[in-house]
Amino acid sequence: MKVRVILLAAGKGVRMRSRLPKLLHHLSGRPMILHSLESAERVTKEPPVIVVGHGAESIRETVGPRAEFVEQIEQLGTGHALLQTQRLLEDEADFVVVTNADLPLVTSDTLKKVLDKQKKNNGPFTILTLKQKEARGFGRVRRNISGEAIAIIEEAEASAQDLSIDELNVGVYCFRGDWLWPALKKIKPSPKKKEYYLTDLLEIAASEGEHIETTSLEDATEAIGINTREHLAEAEAVLRSRINQHWMLEGVTFIDPQTTYIDSGVTIGQDTVVWPNTMLLGTTSIGEDCIVGPNTVIRSSRVGNACRIEATVVELAIIENNVDIGPFAHLRKGAQLSDGVHVGNFGEIKNSTLAPGVKMGHFSYIGDATIGRNVNIGAGTITANYDGKKKNPTVIESDVFIGSDTMLVAPLHIGQGARTGAGAVVTKDVPAHTVVVGVPARAIRRLEEPD
C-alpha cells in the first residue's frame, strides 16, 4: 500500500508580524518547515508533498528536492489547499496523511500512529485529538450520544456550547485515498470566513453513515502550533528539552540543562561535559571526553576528543584532539588547530592553521597564517595581515620562538628554529635559526642548528 504525506504550508502567518514567511522562522537552528518535513519523511519512502502559497519560492529554496510542491494560489482554506494536490496524488496513494506544517513538534511516531489506526479502520479517515482545557485556537470535536465523532467545529464558527468542549482537533489526519478526493468537492464555504475547511469532512462522512476513528495525542507539547512569536518561544523550549534529554541519555553530562542550548544539527561524544551558558549551534560536532564551557559559543565547527574550551567563541573552525582554549578566546572562520595546541585567554585566530604542539600566548592575534610544529607565540603577538587592500600571509616554520609583543608584518616567512625578541617589529623574512630584535627587526646572531 502506498502512503503519501501532505504538509499544508500555504498560510500567511499574519500574527507573526514578520516579513519572513512563518515557516522559515528558526527552531533549534533550522527553519521550522524542516522539522515538519523530517517527521514526514520518516513515515514513508515516498517524498512528502508540500502545499505552498505565501512565501512559496523561499520555502521551495529552503526545502529543495526533498519534497514535491503544489501551489495554492488563492488561500481559500485548508480544504481548498488539500484539493490542490488531487491532480498529483489521485490514484497514486492508498492512504494520505495530512498535517499542518506549522506543527513542527509533531513526531514521526505520532504520524505513524494515526496511519496505523486508519489502516485498521473501515471508515474513510482517522483524526488526532487532544484532551485539553486550553484550546490554543484548535477546533472542537463534537460527539453524539454514542460517543461517535460527528463534527469538528472551528473556533471562529463555534457556539458557546461548542467552546466548552475540551477535546481538540490537533490538525493531523489520515485519509483513505479513494474516499478523499470526491469528498473534498462536497465541502461548502464557511458562513463567516467563506473558507473551505478541511475539518468539514468529518460532518460529511458522518452524514453518510461512515465511522470516523480518533486517536489521542499522548504528549500535549506536540500540539504547539506556531502562530505567534510567543508560540515560537514555547516550541523552542520544548525542542531544547528534547535535544538535551537525548544527549544525556547518550552519555553527555549537562551541568545545567536549563541554560544549555544545543541545535538539532549538533552531535556530542560520550563523556563530554557541557557547562552552563553554552551554545552549540549549526552543524557543530563535539568529540568524546571534552569539557565545553561555561559561557562558550561554538557555531558549525568540528571539535575532536579531550578538548577543553572555556568562555570562548568558535565559528566555522576545526579543532583536533587534546586542544586547550581560553578563557575568552575567539576562533573565527578558517581557524584550524591541530593536536595539542594551546590558545591562551584573549587570543584570536582567523583563517590560520596551527600545527601540533603550538602554544599561543594570551592577547595575541593570528590571521592568514600557517604555523609549524611546536612554535611558541608569545603574549601580545600580532600578525599585521591587512595592508589596506588585501590580506597577506604569514608562514612560520617549526620550532620558532616568537617573543612577547612581536608584530609580524605580512607577507612574511620565518624559517625553522628562528627567534624574535620581545617587542620586535618584523618586516622582512627571517632565515632559519636566526635571532632578530628591534624596530624594525634586525638579525643579531645565528643559532646553532640542532643535530
238 and 191 housed in the same domain: no
Whole-angstrom distance, CA of residue 376 vs CA of residue 157:
74
319: in domain: yes
**611546536: which residue's cell?**
374
217 and 359 both lie in a single domain: no
Give the C-alpha separation, 168 to 139, whole Å: 6
* Residue 25 appears among annotated catalytic residues: no
pLDDT of residue 413: 98
Flag whether 451 is in a domain: no
Q: Which of 25, 362, 413, 433 is catalytic?
A: 362
274, 185: one domain:
no
Given this model, what pLDDT does residue 155 score?
79
CATH number at residue 103: 3.90.550.10
Of 171, 200, 223, the residue at which a domain comes to its end is: 223
- Which one of 223, 247, 264 terminates a domain? 223
In a domain, 175, yes or no: yes
Task: Name the β-bridge partners of 419.
Answer: 401, 435
% residues pLDDT > 70 (the chain)? 100
299/406 same-domain check: yes
In a domain, 423, yes or no: yes
Residues 343-386: tens digit of each pLDDT = 999 999 999 999 999 999 899 999 999 999 999 999 999 999 99
Tell me, yes or no, whether 243 and 126 share the same domain. no
Instruction: Give the model's pLDDT for residue 39.
Output: 97
- Position 443 scores a pLDDT of 84
Question: What number of CA atoms fall less than 13 Å from residue 203's CA on the CB side?
Answer: 14
Cα dihedral 83, 84, 90, 92 sign: negative
Specify whether the CB–CB gap between 302 and 323 falls below 8 A: no
Which pLDDT value is given to residue 348? 98
Which residues constitute the domain of residue 405?
A: 229-446
* Grid cell digits, residue 100: 499542518
- At 444 the pLDDT is 86
Domain boundary, last residue among 193, 223, 253: 223
Q: Do 153 and 294 fall within a single domain?
A: no
Q: Is the peptide bond before 411 cis (omega within 30 degrees of 0)?
A: yes
pLDDT at 392 over 80: yes
What pLDDT, in 10s, does the model give residues 98-155?
A: 999 999 999 999 999 999 999 999 999 999 999 988 878 888 989 998 888 888 888 7
Report the pLDDT value the prediction gives residue 451, as an integer from 0 to 100: 59
Sequence-distant (≥ 6) Cβ neighbours of residue 107 within 8 angstroms: 39, 222
State whether 249 and 189 are in the same domain: no
Supply the pLDDT for residue 41.
Answer: 97
HEC readout, the chain: CCEEEEEEECCCCHHHCCCCCHHHCEECCEEHHHHHHHHHHCCCCCCCEEEEECEHHHHHHHHHHHCEEEECCCCCCHHHHHHCCHHHHCCCCCEEEEEECCCCCCCHHHHHHHHHHHHCCCCCEEEEEEECCCCCCCEEEEECCCCCEEEEECHHHCCHHHHCCCEEEEEEEEEEHHHHHHHHCCCCCCCCCCCCCCCHHHHHHHHCCCCCEEEECCCHHHHCCCCCHHHHHHHHHHHHHHHHHHHHHCCCEECCHHHEEECCCCEECCCCEECCCEEEECCCEECCCCEECCCCEEECCEECCCCEECCCEEECCEECCCCEECCCCEECCCCEECCCCEECCCCEEECCEECCCCEECCCCEEECEEECCCCEECCCCEEECECCCCECCEEECCCCEECCCCEEECCEEECCCCEECCCCEECCCECCCEEEECCCCEEEEECCCCC
**52 in a structural domain:** yes
Same domain flag for 249 and 384? yes
Residues 327 and 210 in one domain: no
Q: What is the pTM of this model?
A: 0.91
Q: Are residues 190 and 245 in the same domain?
A: no
pLDDT band of 189, cuts 50, 70, 90: confident
In a domain, 149, yes or no: yes
- 213 and 235 housed in the same domain: no
Say whether both 271 and 207 belong to one domain.
no
Shortest CA distance to 426 belongs to which of 415, 447, 412, 445?
A: 412
The single residue listed with the C-alpha cell 473558507 is 195
Q: What pLDDT was estimated at residue 163?
A: 80
The torsion angles phi and psi of 407, rounded to 5 degrees, stand at: -110, 120
Res. 74 pLDDT band, cuts 50 70 90: confident
- When divided into structural domains, the chain yields a total of 2
Which residue is listed with cell 635571532? Answer: 435
- Domain assignment of residue 252, yes or no: yes
Segment 193-231, tens digit of pLDDT: 788 989 999 999 999 999 999 999 999 999 999 999 999
Q: Find residue 36's DSSP bridge partners.
A: none
CATH of the domain at 396: 2.160.10.10
